[in-house]
Amino acid sequence: MLKPNIPFYDIGQSYRELKPEIDQAISKVLSKGWYILGEEVMAFEQEFASYVGTRNCVGVSNGLDALFLTLKAWGIGAGDEVIVPSNTYIATWLAVSYSGAIPVPVEPDINTFNLDPLLLEASITPRTKAIIPVHLYGMPADMSIIMETAAKHKLKVLEDAAQAHGAEYNGRKCGCLGDAAAFSFYPGKNLGAFGDGGAVTTDDDDLAAKIRSLANYGSRQKYYNEFKGYNCRLDELQAAILRVKLPHLDEHNLSRHNIATAYLGLSNAQISMPYQQLSHKDELHYTMPVSGAMAKPCWHQFIIRNDKRDKLQAILKQAGINTMIHYPIPPHQQQAYQEFSHHSYPIAESIAQTCLSLPMNPYLSADEIAYISRVLEQS
C-alpha cells in the first residue's frame, strides 16, 4: 500500500473548486479595462463590511498596510507606545515600528495563544496610545476585558484579524469588536486572494475616509493631496476574486470546525494546563488549543504543543503528513528587533519551541482526517 502524501495546504484547490466563477470574474475585469479602484473593489468593500458587521470597509494592499495605515490615521507616531502580543507574526510589530511608535510586548495566555488581558494594566504607561490584540490562528482574543481596559485608559483598540475571517466572539464577528480591525487576504488565509490584499473594517466614518485617502497617495480627489500618503490600494482583480470566494467562507469554516473537532477528540491529547505546570511525562503526548467561553474560532491553523516537537514532526513526515511551525522565532528574538535582545518573554519562547501546526484546510477528505488522527493516536 502506497504511503499517502497529505499536503499542509494545497492553495491551488481553492481555484480548482471555483474555477468557472473565478475565470468569469477575472475576464470581466480584464474586459472592462479598469484595473485600479473600480467597481469590484467598491462592491467587495460593501459586501465584506456587511459580512463583518461594520459600516465601513477600506480595501488596501495587504494586512501589514491595514495595520500601519490605521495607526497612522489615528496620529500614532514617535514617542508613543502600542501594546502588542509577544507571540505573533512579525507584521504586528512592524506596523507599530513603521508608524514611529514603540511596540510594547505582553505575554499570551498559554491556552489560547492570545494576549493575556490580565497582564495589560502593568504595561500601560502615559505614552500608551493603543492595543493591538491578535486573533492568532483564528482564535478570538478575550475582547471583553481588553475593551474594558482600553476604555478605562482611553486607548484605541486595533484588532489584528489577519487570521480571523469569520471567527466570532460573543456572537459577533471578529473585525467589529474594536475601534478598527485589520485583515489580510494572503492566499493561505481562510479568505485568501491570489496575491496580496488586505482591508480595514470600522464603524468610524472619519477614520475610514482618512485611511482611504492615505492609501491613495493622500488623495480623495485625483491630483489633490491632503496628506503625505502612500500607494496601498487593493487590486481590482483581487477584489473580484475575493467577491467570488466570500460567499463560500462560512461553508469552508464549518469544514475547518469539523476537522478541529476530530483533532480535539484524540485520546493522546492532554488537557492544556498553565505554563508553569506543563507535563513532561510522555514526550509524545501533546497539548491542544483551548478557546475561551465566548469564542468561536475559525481555525485558520490548528496548533498543538509538544516538548519534543521536532521528533513528532519527523514521525508525521515519515507517515506522509506534512506539518508546519508557526512561528519558530518570536519577534523579540529576530535580528530586526535587536533592541529587545536582552528581554525575555518565556511564554512566547516556549510556544515557539513547542508548537506544531497540523494540516488544516477545508479540502481535507474524511479519509485524510481519519489517517492523520490514527497516526497521532499511535505516536
Q: What is the pLDDT of residues 175-188, one digit of tens each?
A: 999 999 999 999 99
Q: Which helix H or strand E contains 102, and what residues bound it?
A: strand 102-106
Q: What is the pLDDT of residue 286?
A: 83
Q: Enter the DSSP assignment of 6.
A: B
CA dihedral 255, 256, 257, 258 (to 10 degrees): 50
Cα–Cα distance, 297 to 334 (Å, whole number): 28
Express as a percent the part of the chain with pLDDT over 90: 92
Cα–Cα distance, 260 to 288 (Å, whole number): 10
Non-local CB neighbours of 65 within 8 Å, separated by 6+ positions? 198, 215, 230, 232
Grid coordinates belonging to 265:
477528540
φ and ψ at 264, to 5 degrees?
Answer: -65, -20
Q: What is the DSSP string of 309-358?
A: HHHHHHHHHHTTB--B-S-SS-GGGSGGGGGGTT---HHHHHHHHHEEEE
- pLDDT band for position 340 (cuts 50, 70, 90): very high
Beta bridge partners of 221: 224
Query: Does this model's pTM top 0.85?
Result: yes
CA dihedral 378, 324, 87, 214 (to 10 degrees): -150
Cis previous bond, 327, omega within 30: yes
- pLDDT band for position 359 (cuts 50, 70, 90): very high
- pLDDT band for position 277 (cuts 50, 70, 90): very low
Q: Which residue is listed with cell 484588532?
A: 159
Grid coordinates belonging to 237:
482583480
Q: What is the pLDDT of residue 377?
A: 87
The model's pLDDT over 79-101, given as tens digits with 9 standing for 90+, comes to 999 999 999 999 999 999 999 99
Q: How many CB atoms lie within 10 A of CB 142?
A: 20
Closest CA to 306 of 365, 350, 246, 261: 350
Cα–Cα distance, 90 to 86 (Å, whole number): 10
Reply yes or no on whether the pLDDT at 77 is more than 80: yes
pLDDT, average across residues 294-300 = 97
pLDDT, average across residues 351-356 = 97
Q: Is-contact 327 352, C-beta < 8 A?
A: yes
Grid coordinates belonging to 226:
491632503
Cα–Cα distance, 379 to 372 (Å, whole number): 11
Q: What is the pLDDT of residue 284?
A: 57
Q: Is-contact 38 236, C-beta < 8 A?
A: yes
Cα–Cα distance, 187 to 189 (Å, whole number): 6
Q: Enter the DSSP assignment of 214.
A: H
